[in-house]
Amino acid sequence: MTLPVRIPAFLLFTASLLIFLQCCAPINSTSSQPEEMTAESDDSFIAETPDHSCSYFYFLWAKHAENRNEFSEAQQAYEKALICDPHSAYVLRKLPLLLIKMGKYQGAAKWLREIIAGNPDDINNRILLAQLDVRNNEIEEAIQLYREVIELKPDDETTYLRLGVIYSRQLRYIEAEQLFKEALSRNKDSFYCRLYLARLKTKTGDRKSAEKWYREALQLTWSTELAVEVAEFYSSANEHDSAETLYRTLFSKNPDNEQIGLALVQTLLIRKKEQEALQVLQNLQQISEDPERIILIICRIHLRDNELDKAAELLQTILDNNEAAYMLAVIYYEQKKREKTVQTLKLIPSGSPYFQDSISLQVRIFMEDKEEEKAISLLEKVAADKVDSSPALYALLASLYMEQKQKANSYKTLDRALETFPDNPELYFEYGLLLEQDHKQAQAIESMERVLELEPDHAEALNYLGYTWANNNINLEKALEYIQRAISLKPDNGYILDSLGWVYFRMGKLDKAVAEILAALQLEPNDPHIYEHLGDIYLEDGKKAEALKAYQQAEKLFGNIAKKKRVAKKIDSIKGE
């Protein structure tokens, strides 16, 4: 038999080692052992008469192994202790705790059930088993155990609270409230009863009762954590005056707590007390471990108030911060300071979270200044860098090539992009648009279908397919399904509503078609295509005056000469009748 290293002297007690060797099989650390012993273990291993000395020996061995974090060895030793004395209450208690420590929750639960079966009045092990059952998602078993504990110990408020929390998580709010109030009847001064009742009433929307219980809980036990929870409760209920009062109290007690200070700032901003919010932020800036973060918040307030110069002055002090540099560049852009904008954007290094935004803004400036070659050159340079390239920048480059009538380069760019990002739905969407512009509609449809394979809820691809089918007067039921899905994803998109109107038009449902087109115009009042669709629908419905008015508005808004001529022919056709 191999003993653990350095067996302490106190292990050598009463009987000799020979007795232990005779009555107990040795532990073999290298042999294969079951995860844990259960009631189904071979009865031949259980001693006919409990051997307390043997059990104690292995118990001490197990404790020594556990202290050395040798948990598997400890488990085996505890099990050997139970072979010597199957009814050792202390070992029976320790083994499940060890198994829990080892992450063997199911095994621990089995042992606890064995212990409880042998001791029907055992409360502590029932509570421990109930907690394990909750962790193992065996909720009904946990509920039954807590009910048994209540029968055994009806005056313990804690069990009522634990069971109430389980019911609350199951949305069984009436039963949960009954348990919380039952606990309160046993302890009139219970802080936790009031806290759980407050949370329960918040969940059920009874804000008046929730506030009452929160107030009583605060009166019993004031704590920063609870006060923050109550303040958040007031904020969620739009009771910002009460939230402000509580946050001010909290901040006066915790002047170094940045999170409380920022919560107060947010509440003050909601209440339009900007100067007071700025004063709190200036105080926070002095004590914050991240003062740049506070400066950025101050700048956002100035930007919201259109105080660009104040924001710019502050941002110039922290230009090493990439977010600050980007914000300052945007300010310069708004102020039409092109050169300063580009210079500031160049401060943002490759790899920064703001690098791609900085590239996009530079490209926008180049395009506005009619410097297309500079824009393309910049994007090509970034795309060549595997670290900074992205699907969005590739898509932007492809669209620029298309605008420059460099169709072949557009295809090459998207082909390169898909080599790097082969499963990116946005790239397939851009490819589809390119194919559509190139009058390759069948291939465009295939590309859009690939988008939906990768991202079934891609609203724009759903809209494209639905509208294209409707425009070709095919697959109308499926077109309707796709566009309704797109609207559910983006209900405020006027172009998708226009597509829905067009589908109804193709289906002959003219009243529905007009309603959807008019709704689309509410969202996109300057889109000539939608007005042209409205004219087509009115004309089909025999309402020539309304059609003429819609066509005239479309002709006025169209910038494309060919499209102007197309609508003009429709106008002339009506006038010539």
> Sign of torsion, CA 519 520 521 522?
positive
> Tokens for 315?
């941002």
- The count of residues in the chain is 577
For residues 149 and 160, the answer to whether their CB atoms sit within 8 Å is no
What CATH code is carried by the domain that includes residue 406? 1.25.40.10
Give the pLDDT of residue 41: 38
Q: What one-letter code names the amino acid at 483? A: I
Helix 308-315 to helix 322-334 angle, to the nearest 10 degrees?
Answer: 150
In this model, does residue 331 exceed pLDDT 60? Answer: yes
Q: pTM higher than 0.95 for the full model?
A: no
Q: Does residue 422 lie within any of the structural domains?
A: yes
- Is the separation of the CB atoms in 554 and 528 below 8 Å? yes
Taking each helix axis from N to C end, the angle separating 224-236 and 207-220, rounded to the nearest 10 degrees, works out to: 160
pLDDT in tens, 37-93: 333 334 433 445 677 788 888 878 888 888 888 888 888 888 887 888 787 777 787
pLDDT higher at 81 or 362: 362
CA distance linking residue 89 with residue 93, whole number of Å: 6
Residue 96's pLDDT band, with cuts at 50, 70 and 90, is: confident
Q: How confident is the model at residue 218 (pLDDT cuts 50, 70, 90)?
A: very high
Q: What is the pLDDT of residue 576?
A: 78
Contact present, 121 and 141 (Cβ < 8 Å)? no
Q: How far apart are CA 269 and CA 160, in angstroms?
A: 42
Q: How far apart (Å, rounded) are the C-alpha atoms in residues 227 and 222?
A: 7
Q: Provide CB contacts within 8 A for 280, sequence distance 6+.
A: 251, 261, 264, 265, 268
* Structural domain includes residue 452: no
| Measured distance CA(226)–CA(222) in Å, rounded | 7
**Does the residue 254 lie in any domain?**
no
Handedness of CA 89, 94, 95, 99 (dihedral sign): positive
Domain count, the chain: 1
Q: Please indicate, yes or no, if residue 428 is contained in any of the structural domains.
A: yes
Has residue 30 got a pLDDT over 60? no
501 Cβ contact list (under 8 Å, min separation 6): 512, 513, 514, 515, 516, 517, 519, 520, 533, 537
pLDDT in tens, 275-329: 999 999 999 999 999 999 999 999 999 999 999 999 999 999 999 999 999 999 9
| CB count in 10 Å sphere of residue 432 | 26
Instruction: Please answer whether residues 505 and 540 qualify as being in contact, where contact means their C-beta atoms are separated by less than 8 angstroms.
Output: yes
The verdict on residue 274 lying in a domain is no
Q: Which residue has the tokens 């932020």?
A: 281
CB under 8 Å to 55, separation ≥6 — which residues?
A: 81, 82, 84, 85, 88, 91
CA 320/CA 325 separation, integer angstroms: 7
Higher pLDDT, 253 or 384: 253
Domain encompassing residue 382: 351-436
Band of pLDDT at residue 36, cut at 50, 70 and 90: very low
Residue 49, pLDDT score: 67
SS (H, E, C) 149-168: HHHHCCCCHHHHHHHHHHHH
Give the Cα separation of 214 and 482 in Å (integer): 48
Give me the mean pLDDT over the 137-148 stretch.
93
Confidence of residue 193 (pLDDT cuts 50, 70, 90): very high
Provide the mean pLDDT of the chain: 88
Per the CB < 8 A criterion, the answer to whether 20 and 56 are in contact is no
- Long-range contacts from 230-235, C-beta under 8 angstroms, 24+ separation: 231/263, 231/267, 232/263, 233/198, 233/202, 235/267
Q: State the burial class of residue 276 (Cβ atoms within 10 Å of its Cβ: 0-12, 13-18, 19+).
A: middle
State residue 84's pLDDT score.
Answer: 84
The answer as to whether 243 is a domain residue is no
Instruction: Please give the pLDDT value at position 34.
Output: 33
297 found inside a domain: no
pLDDT surpassing 80 at residue 539: yes
Judged by average pLDDT, the poorest of 15-19, 42-46, 330-334, 540-544 is: 15-19
276 part of a folded domain: no
DSSP 127: H
Distance CA 445, CA 253 (A): 63
